[in-house]
Amino acid sequence: MAKGKKKNSGFVLVLYFLVPFAIVLFLKYSFSNSNNSYQAIGETNSGNQHSTDLAAKANNLPEKVDYIFDVKPILSDRCYLCHGPDEGTREAGLRLDTKEGAFKAIGKNLDRYAIVAGKPEESALVSKITNTDLQKVMPPPSSNLSLTEYEKQVLIKWIEQGAEWKTHWSFVPPIKPELPKIATQDWVSNSIDYFIAKRLEQKNLKPSEEASKEQLIRRVYFDLTGLPPSIEDIDAFLNDKDTNAYEKVVDKLLASSSYGERMASTWLDVSRYADTHGYQDDLERIMWPWRDWVISAFNRNIPYDKFIKWQLAGDLLPNPSPEQIVATAFNRNHKITQEGGVIDEEYRVEYVMDRANTTAKAILGITMECARCHDHKYDPISMKEFYGFYAFFNKVDEKGRIDYGELPEPNIKITKKEVEETLSFINLPDSIKEVKLMVMKDNAPDRKTYTLRRGQYDAPDQEVTLDTPEFILEYSDSLPKNRLGLAKWLFHKDNSLTARVAVNRMWQDIFGVGIVSTSEDFGNQGALPSHPELLDWLAVTFREEGWDMKKMYKRLVMSSTYKQTSKLSPQLLELDPDNVLLARYSRSKLTAEMVRDNALAVSGLLVDKIGGPSVKPYQPPGLWQETTGGGGGSTAKYIPDTGENLYRRSLYTFWKRTVPPPAMMTFDAPTRDFCEVKRQKTSTPLQALVMLNDPQLIEAAEHLAKNTLKEDNLSQDERIKLIFRKITSRFPTQEELDKFTQYVETVENDFESNPDIDKTEITSKTEYAYTLLSSLIFNLDEVIIKG
């Protein structure tokens, strides 16, 4: 198979591609050879793409084949589609996702078995997958899910070794493991490090040395506040010789209000927060009071269980406070249409779907939506269970289509008085007397829920009652049959997913990649955890400590694991290019918000103000006008704000879903159409253009240059150092300093002779040179990297 592919790609090369492209194709191809089975589970693309060096792989079979690690990923990815949880499309009565199904008698006379433990020659599965007849082999070639030789050998060896069956790891409640015994005690700062060190020792790897203090402070500032440290912050830290100097910084950051803004910006992705309704004319909506609540909730360190419970069911708590009701706006962040002529029920159903899917993905890490049209193909979620879950969110008396200018029901009014008395976290400007906010309310208690054939709004089938997927945890009769009951179910100690999913996402916030790299999917098709015991230890600890988020974040950043340098030796790059084992810290790109906020902060432009209505900073003119249908009202034309609203942190930037802020999109922000728990991290030429030419970046460079020149008694070296340190948080090397000096001089010489420079804005050659120097430094790789 691999041979055939190679031949084919050679043919293609010659005929259709320029040589460079061909090389890229070839490299891509080489890359697919470098997949490993661990990664393949979660990250590689498609079944037929495992063009593996067969012989090498077959020789590399694990000594003891493990069901969870080796076997189930293959069964799930290649077999479940027709032999999995979905009863509707199950072929030949064979079900391979349950032990009972996999071992039961099959065939017309019930005399055959797919799997006979220890006896591959009697196992129908083996004869099927090894059949050389293309009409008979499983999976059929037409499915594009064919097994590689290696995968076949794994299945066969597993059966040979007794076909031991286990439950999927994330469906079993976590148990707190003992800390592993390790040799390198002196490296350890806290419990996390035991688990990391253990793995490194087993691989004969050593952790990397600690990062420099400059690196460390920059890293932890971005991670906990989304902003860079000031020179004063850095100097204070460099000069603090206390053994707990770093801990003092961490505590200070956790207590700062920027912490809440940083954490909120992640939660806004999860919550698909936006300032418009999202369909067609994409009218403005007011949800920012809820966003202010999120920031405040993080800053007040409301425990995660309450944080979620209030958002899911604050309105159903006994005597709910206004704050608890405001929190439920979480589930009204879905899109809403006003398009003339749409069918109301069609869209109302979409909103309910969105709530169910968001809740499942954000809190349980499962892809519930796959069971909308049929039973889930990979995880044991029946269509009936999906609609049982959907039913929790189907009691809202709401419209599918709203009119222009209509505020969707249900909503609450928030007045000045309430803000003063109970909702002080809402930044209601003096110019606004009151706002109305969409919230959750079960004011259609009698609406029945049905399964919908093919997931279609007009094809109701069987009536269902409120329920949750049984494989996670049975929905106890003692729980109320509403969203509050659901919230309690989520935080029951036997719920195997909630705590793991939460700590995994926190880990992802700090380390860039989750312990489960597919933070959106903990099911059968998801990646396996890189450090399973650590994940469980963290999950149980999080629960035992009362779901204390600040405490958990502190633990992560206080670990020696976190404090390692991100320098990468060729050996480490070769042995662990994706840094799965964490023998170093991973360099990773700043988020779209951080990239801009960094420029604002270091140049002194940033306006430090929390919350309030969303703002409209610079945006290339015309983007909204070009696409509007004319019916958008305030969203038909982008009118940039003036004054301080230009310089607010990026999480406050007005989010029009159908035309989101372009520079943020270029830096991998999601569209906010749906819940997203993980951003992409790409590198594109368009990002380079933003960094080079975005007027915001240019203004920051100019501002920084002017401010620096205002300071008296600085030598040229000192000015350059100051600018460089502000932007990168470190001192330049002598070599770098020489280069910058030389650059400044060259540009100064350009100034006089160049008639195209606007000399009303920039009045001296020095100002000009320092502006370009600042712009140059903003464009260095390390500036948009957390390393």
Partner 1 sequence: MEELSKHFINNNRRHFLKKVGLGIGGLAAASLLDPFSALGNNSQLNPTGLNLPHFAPKAKRVIYLFQSGGPSQLDLFDYKPLLDKMRGQDLPDSVRQGQRLTGMTSGQDSFPLVGSNFKFDQYGESRAWVSSLMPYTAKVVDELCFIKSMHTEAINHDPAITFFQTGSQQPGRPSIGSWMSYGLGSLNENLPTFSVLLSRGTGRPFSQPLYSRLWGNGFLSSLHQGVQFRSGKDPVLYLKDPDGMSRAQRRAMLDHISELNQKQEEEFGDPEINSRIAQYEMAYRMQTSVPDTMNVEEEPEHIIQMYGVDAMVPGTYAANCLLARRMAERDVRFIQLYHMGWDQHFDLPSQIERQAKDIDQATAALIMDLKQRGMLEDTLVVWGGEFGRTNYSQGTLTDTNYGRDHHPKCFTMFMAGGGVKPGFTYGETDDFGYNIAKDPMHVHDLQATIMHLMGVDHTKFTYKHQGRRFRLTDVSGHVVHDILS
| Residue list 653-672, contact with partner 1 (CB under 8 A) | 658-660, 662-663, 665-666, 668, 671
Q: Which of residues 372-391 bind partner 1 (CB under 8 A)?
A: 377-378
**Counting contacts by CB under 8 A, is residue 38 touching partner 1?**
yes
**Counting contacts by CB under 8 A, is residue 772 touching partner 1?**
yes
CB of 779 to partner 1, least distance (A): 5
**Counting contacts by CB under 8 A, is residue 51 touching partner 1?**
yes
Decide whether 48 or 634 has the Cβ nearer to partner 1. 48
Contacts of 475 (CB under 8 A, 6+ apart): 466, 467, 468, 485, 489
Decide whether 35 or 257 has the Cβ nearer to partner 1. 35
Contact 762, 747 (CB under 8 A): no
Which one of 261, 269, 275, 282 is in contact with partner 1 (CB under 8 A)?
282
> Is the four-CA dihedral 722, 726, 727, 730 of positive or negative sign?
positive
Q: For tokens 């708590």, name the residue.
A: 317
Which one of 285, 554, 563, 589 is in contact with partner 1 (CB under 8 A)?
589
Q: Is 441 helix (H, G, I), strand (E, B) or coil?
A: coil
Contact 649, 617 (CB under 8 A): no
No. of helices (H) and no. of strands (E), the chain = 34, 8
Q: Which of residues 402-431 bind partner 1 (CB under 8 A)?
A: none
Q: Which of residues 164-223 bind partner 1 (CB under 8 A)?
A: 169, 172, 174-175, 177, 199, 202-203
Q: Which of residues 511-540 bind partner 1 (CB under 8 A)?
A: 517-518, 520-521, 523-526, 528-533, 536
CB of 564 to partner 1, least distance (A): 13
Using CB under 8 A, which of the segments 251-259, 325-333, 463-471, 752-760 binds partner 1? 752-760
CB of 659 to partner 1, least distance (A): 5
**Counting contacts by CB under 8 A, is residue 311 touching partner 1?**
no
Which one of 103, 450, 457, 674 is in contact with partner 1 (CB under 8 A)?
674
Contact 372, 384 (CB under 8 A): no
Q: What is the DSSP string of 583-623?
A: SSPPPEEPPHHHHHHHHHHHHT-------SS-B-----TTH
Decide whether 607 or 785 has the Cβ nearer to partner 1. 785
Using CB under 8 A, which of the segments 105-113, 119-127, 543-551, 685-693 binds partner 1? 685-693
Decide whether 558 or 594 has the Cβ nearer to partner 1. 594
Which one of 92, 255, 575, 639 is in contact with partner 1 (CB under 8 A)?
575
Residue 558: what are its φ and ψ, rounded to 5°? -85, -10
Decide whether 641 or 673 has the Cβ nearer to partner 1. 673
User: In whole angstroms, how far apart are CA 585 and each of 212, 266, 513?
Assistant: 12, 21, 11
Which one of 424, 684, 749, 764 is in contact with partner 1 (CB under 8 A)?
684
Q: Which of residues 7-36 bind partner 1 (CB under 8 A)?
A: 8-9, 12, 15-18, 20-21, 23-25, 27-36
DSSP assigned state of 410? S
List the beta bridge partners of residue 466: none
CB of 320 to partner 1, least distance (A): 32
Antiparallel, parallel or unpaired: β 588-589 and 785-786: antiparallel
Decide whether 211 or 264 has the Cβ nearer to partner 1. 211
Which one of 91, 622, 718, 764 is in contact with partner 1 (CB under 8 A)?
622
Annotate each residue in 241-280 with x if it binds partner 1 (CB under 8 A) or - if it does not, as one string. Answer: -------------------------------------xxx
Whole-number Å distance between alpha carbons of 767 and 747 = 10
**Counting contacts by CB under 8 A, is residue 743 touching partner 1?**
yes
List the beta bridge partners of residue 467: none
Q: Which pair of structure tokens corresponds to residue 137?
A: 């082999």
Contact 250, 557 (CB under 8 A): yes
Whole-number Å distance between alpha carbons of 478 and 485 = 9
Which one of 160, 247, 409, 673 is in contact with partner 1 (CB under 8 A)?
673
By rule CB under 8 A, what count of residues binds partner 1?
157
CB of 418 to partner 1, least distance (A): 35
Which one of 211, 290, 776, 786 is in contact with partner 1 (CB under 8 A)?
776
**Counting contacts by CB under 8 A, is residue 693 touching partner 1?**
yes
Whole-number Å distance between alpha carbons of 241 and 604 = 29
Using CB under 8 A, which of the segments 101-109, 228-236, 242-250, 572-580 binds partner 1? 572-580
Contact 618, 695 (CB under 8 A): yes
CB of 692 to partner 1, least distance (A): 7
Whole-number Å distance between alpha carbons of 528 and 604 = 44
Decide whether 93 or 620 has the Cβ nearer to partner 1. 620
Show the DSSP H helices in 276-424 as ranges: 288-299, 304-313, 322-327, 344-359, 383-391, 416-421
Q: For tokens 């000594």, name the residue.
A: 63
Contacts of 41 (CB under 8 A, 6+ apart): 73, 77, 525, 526, 527, 528
**Counting contacts by CB under 8 A, is residue 683 touching partner 1?**
yes
Q: Which of residues 106-165 bind partner 1 (CB under 8 A)?
A: 144
**Counting contacts by CB under 8 A, is residue 367 touching partner 1?**
yes
Whole-number Å distance between alpha carbons of 452 and 394 = 13
CA angle 644, 648, 654 (to 5 degrees): 105
Contact 643, 628 (CB under 8 A): no
What is Dmax (Cα atoms) for the chain?
96
CB of 642 to partner 1, least distance (A): 21
CA angle 180, 183, 188 (to 5 degrees): 70
**Counting contacts by CB under 8 A, is residue 58 touching partner 1?**
no
Whole-number Å distance between alpha carbons of 163 and 154 = 11
Whole-number Å distance between alpha carbons of 147 and 137 = 10
Using CB under 8 A, which of the segments 464-472, 479-487, 594-602, 773-781 binds partner 1? 773-781
CB of 550 to partner 1, least distance (A): 27
Q: Which of residues 76-105 bind partner 1 (CB under 8 A)?
A: none
Whole-number Å distance between alpha carbons of 597 and 666 = 15
Q: Which of residues 59-78 bind partner 1 (CB under 8 A)?
A: 60, 62-64, 66, 68-70
Whole-number Å distance between alpha carbons of 558 and 547 = 18
CB of 680 to partner 1, least distance (A): 6
Residue from 255, 330, 275 nearest 612 by CA: 275
**Counting contacts by CB under 8 A, is residue 459 touching partner 1?**
no
Q: Which of residues 330-349 bind partner 1 (CB under 8 A)?
A: 335, 337, 339-344
**Counting contacts by CB under 8 A, is residue 45 touching partner 1?**
yes
Using CB under 8 A, which of the segments 109-117, 311-319, 601-609, 731-739 binds partner 1? 731-739
CB of 622 to partner 1, least distance (A): 7
**Counting contacts by CB under 8 A, is residue 782 touching partner 1?**
yes
CB of 750 to partner 1, least distance (A): 6
Residue from 535, 593, 651, 650 nearest 786 by CA: 593
DSSP assigned state of 436? E
Alpha carbons within 13 angstroms on the beta-carbon side of residue 303 total: 11
Using CB under 8 A, which of the segments 112-120, 127-135, 324-332, 570-578 binds partner 1? 570-578
Q: Which of residues 624-643 bind partner 1 (CB under 8 A)?
A: 626-632
**Counting contacts by CB under 8 A, is residue 758 touching partner 1?**
yes
